[in-house]
Chains A and B, each alone.
Chain A
Amino acid sequence: MGAIQRSFEGNVELSRIKSDLKKQQRNLLIRRFFANKSVLIGSIISIFLACVVLLAPFIAPEGPYAMEVANRLQGPSSAHLLGTDNFGRDVLGRIAYGAQISMGVGSSVAIISSLLGMMIGLYASYFRSLDSVLMRICDGLMAIPGILLAIALMAAFGAKTENVVLALCIVFTPHIARAVRSAALVVREQTYIEAMKALGAPSWRIIWLHIAPNTLSPLIVQATFIFADAIIIEAALSFLGAGVPAPAPSWGNILSDGKMVIFQAWWMTVFPGITIILSVLGLNLFGDGLRDLLDPHTNQAKK
């Protein structure tokens, strides 16, 4: 009886230590987060842009297509903070609604290619016979310069927003698969995986419950960079007329309209341009900082 009582107390004690440890770990993560300037600045910029996406209907209540023909090509003024374009549409409104499209394409590419790439990377690392085939396909796809592959795929699929997402997923999935695979190969050789195998655990259980969580940090870092790259390539494709079709206010389309009137309207090039740079800079800073945060080797706030 006494022994059971003692072991019960011991369990309570253990769980208290465990929860304390968890709290400490959480505090450490929060402290690191604020000590890491890149992550902080990057997340502020990203949150700001997310607000723009959500608040677009309030920033431009008349919508991105409303034209005021009398006010064509007006410079920045109190009525139109960032000026109007060659159809008399409010540039601020178009940039705000464009954020929905451009960030939407970027985030869907990041999420879909992460999921696909993770699956490919994990299975390639676990089953050696799959590995050589899958990785040769990835190598081949990665050998074609990304923007060219995207352009060629868009030529085949046709200019449509969904097709931009599809094409960019084909471009970026191999990158994720490579990153996940190399992380998973290290985990695969650990003793605890060997132990799981010896205990007769099914392979899906080992892959998804024991290897996958250990590949998450390189995956998340890679996904942030892909988010940024996807925004750039989407803008470039739309700018060239091979991306999001014309009247939709993607950032590349605003720039493409602006290029035609570059002599009359600098604001149509400068403001969407700054928006793209800001979002890419924010995501890159976030990714850079996150890599430091998640990788204990390069951590600056070790205390």
Chain B
Amino acid sequence: MKARNAVGTVAVNAEPGYLDPYRNRWIAIVKASYIYIVFLLIVLVFSVVKLDQVRFFGRGHFLSPVSIVNLLRSSVPIITLAGSFTLLMISEHIDLSVGSAMSLSAVIYALLVRSGVSFLPAFLITMVLGVLCGYVNGALVMKLRITPVIATLVTLNVFKGIALLIVPNRISAIKSTDTIKMPLWINDYARKAVFLRLPAAFYVAIAVVVVLVIVQRKTILGKYTAAMGGNRTAAELSGINTVRIGWILYIIVGVSAAMAGIARASYMSLGDPLSGDGMELDCIIAVLLGGTNFYGGEGSVEKSVIGALIIVCVTVGLMTVVPPFWQMVARGSVLIFAVTLNYLLAKD
């Protein structure tokens, strides 16, 4: 039996919690809070750097009220998307088409507003479009069982194609022309201060995040999302309809993309068919920075939102010190950082 024990040791050691409780606790603390520390550090760095020549938006300090408002206003789309994207990634799926769905929504919303539809109907119709985008993705991935990356890469191009088709030739976006004027109120939703100098769109985004936090922590959908991403076979054996759960998640992401598109169109007063480009990458970075396991099972909505803010801070902060093209490189570096961090954390 001696040899048996030599082999058996591997299994005995497989209980890390009992080996070194202190080390484990430290890892747990670092895991739970590093994202906030990183966020504070980044804010601190950008606010300490003296921006003598190129001032932030030409209006002063990084932490001045004006620039904070600007920063939060421009981060509305990514905040709206980060939460639902987190849930999707916890279920071990991905949606590369979020950016295109967002662009398409922005174009449709702008088109509706320009043709005289008032705010609420335009908003709701665009939301229905978001449901449709999510439904299509869900059908491809969950029902037809096409690999998420491929399925949503296809819809990325389809949605983008439709958005480009809608915008007439030789015009870059849906905006005021000589004949039709874009109503001025389109701006109100994402720019007009309603409370603490911040616009309605910002509070809607926060509301979305709050709802998703509750969904993740308190509802059966949140639990099944984690179960499905952690071990799909076990989830199915326990009687969970994983196809339905995944489908619902894709629809939630589609709706979020539509809301993000409305916010973007409203912020820019036009419907740009390319305005959502690169959003999928930002979402992935935000979610990974927030510590969500790339292979599903666990993650946190609120931390992804912090991750989203980090991206915005880095982008905006760098805008003040480096030429625009370097921002792409910087964003790539942040992604590599996020993935590495994610890997290290997952390893224990």
Q: Do A and B come from one complex?
A: no
- Residue positions of A touching B, CB distance < 8 A: none
Binding site for A on B (CB under 8 A): none
